[in-house]
Amino acid sequence: MIVFDLVCTAAHRFEAWFGSGSDFDDQKARGLLECPWCGSRQVDKAVMAPAVPAKSNQRARPVDDPAAKLLAMQRALEDKSDYVGSRFAEEARAIHAAGEQRCVHGEASLEEVKSLHDEGVPLLPLPFRPRARSDA
């Protein structure tokens, strides 16, 4: 058995075991490789980190890094949801009033969240900041 670090087009890293090096090529050719984070079949071998002395033999990003999982979650959400920034409260209210199934995310004050909640508008606090902000 041989283990490869694989990476998809969205830069998700994961490990996969193969019977041999040619198994990888075979499975890739048949479209059997799939990113466990986003389901992408555009998967390739990741560039291996260079060997480093035992003293600092730590990978920059372990495969089960919770931050990586969170990032994958965030990307999946951003695919399905529109960022509306500080207009979140009014957008959410309008969508709810119109009975739409659309998803939006953005920022809202505690007061806005409370009144949306009182009005029965479904909302969910996110465990991360919208990218438009975290990139600022």
Task: Please identify which residue in 4, 24, 37, 88 interacts with Zn ion, judged by CB under 5 A.
Answer: 37
Determine whether 135 is exposed, middle or buried from the number of CB atoms within 10 Å of its CB (0-12, 13-18, 19+). Answer: exposed
**Least CB distance from residue 64 to Zn ion, whole Å?**
15
Query: Which residues 6+ apart lie within 8 Å of 128 measured at CB?
Result: 70, 73, 74, 134
Rule CB under 5 A: is residue 12 a binding residue for Zn ion?
yes
Count of residues interacting with Zn ion (CB under 5 A): 7
Among 40, 42, 81, 115, binds Zn ion (CB under 5 A): 40
Could you say whether residue 35 binds Zn ion (CB under 5 A)? yes
CA distance 72 to 13: 11
Alpha carbons 3 and 16: distance in angstroms, whole number: 6
Nearer to Zn ion, 36 or 107 (CB): 36
Question: Which parts of this chain interact with Zn ion (CB under 5 A)?
Answer: 8, 10, 12, 35, 37-38, 40
